[in-house]
Amino acid sequence: MSQHPSLKGKGAIQSKRSVLKRFERVELLKKRGEFKENQRVIGLPKTKPEE
């Protein structure tokens, strides 16, 4: 069975994601010093990806 063209990955043009996954948001907040170790990961503040 062939794969639909919209599902092709690495060879296609990749656009910049404006939404981060939870683990990416935690890493970014840790870098900025806005996340504490015992803080809950539910209800994190919105974050923009680094440029």
Interval 35-48: pLDDT, tens: 988 888 888 888 88
- Block residue for tokens 């994601």: 17
With cut-offs at 50, 70 and 90, classify the pLDDT of residue 1.
confident
- pTM for the model stands at 0.62
